[in-house]
Amino acid sequence: MAWAGVRSLSSLVPSRSRPAGKAEPATEAEPTGRPEPTGRAEPESPRRRLLPAIGRALAMVCAFVLMVAFSVVLARLTLEPSPASESLTHSNLRPGSSLRAYVEQPVGRDAVKQMGGNLLLGVPFGILVPVLASRARGIGRVLLLTALVMLLVELAQGAVVTGRAFDIDDVILNTTGALAGYLLLGRRLGRAVHARR
């Protein structure tokens, strides 16, 4: 008798089972206290955007000042007349000729001074040009720009400066110095200042 009563009660309670093929309706998720992700990034504050821009501007101003200072030093070293050495100078259009003469000098210090000085003159180009100009960050552009500037300097030396002569090996050494400066520091500085966004 009690068993029959339980059976009749169970027939009154609606069944939880669903017919095959019908999904149970989704229930609302309980709040967790955390905001739901919307898929959109929060906008950066103006201050966060301003600081990198100020840093880039300062780096470019410093690079410009250093380039001007370097240009003054370059002009004094290469375009100042040297009447005492007028009889000793001669133009060199054959790559490697002056380099061979430097190496064959009896005093090694003179060779280091000549070659090292020309190498060092090119290093600032390799460091500063990628910082100053975002479009001149590639190695080919830096080397081409350095070679053009140094070629103009050498042409000016040979044409109008007393006691100076055009030397293609100086252009080669200057460009090699720019390559060293670019690989050591210029490439990283250029990427840091002109970061791709």
Establish if 158 belongs to a structural domain.
yes
Give the Cα-Cα-Cα angle 179, 187, 127 (nearest 5 degrees).
Answer: 60
Backbone angles phi, psi at 185, to 5 degrees: -140, -40
Q: Residue 64: which residues within 8 A CB-CB, separation 6 or more?
A: 132
Query: Could you tell me the maximum CA-CA distance found in the chain, to the nearest angstrom?
Result: 135
Establish if 173 belongs to a structural domain.
yes
pLDDT the model gives residue 182:
94
Domain total in the chain: 1
CA distance 10 to 30: 31
pLDDT the model gives residue 107:
75
Its domain, for residue 125, covers 47-193
Establish if 42 belongs to a structural domain.
no
pLDDT tens over the chain, length 197 residues: 444 444 554 455 555 555 555 555 555 555 555 555 555 655 556 666 676 778 888 888 888 888 888 888 888 877 787 776 666 678 888 999 988 888 887 777 878 888 998 999 899 999 999 988 877 778 899 999 999 999 999 998 888 888 788 999 999 999 999 999 999 999 998 888 887 65
pLDDT the model gives residue 33:
56
Establish if 15 belongs to a structural domain.
no
Establish if 112 belongs to a structural domain.
yes
Establish if 38 belongs to a structural domain.
no
Establish if 131 belongs to a structural domain.
yes
pLDDT the model gives residue 147:
93
Establish if 134 belongs to a structural domain.
yes
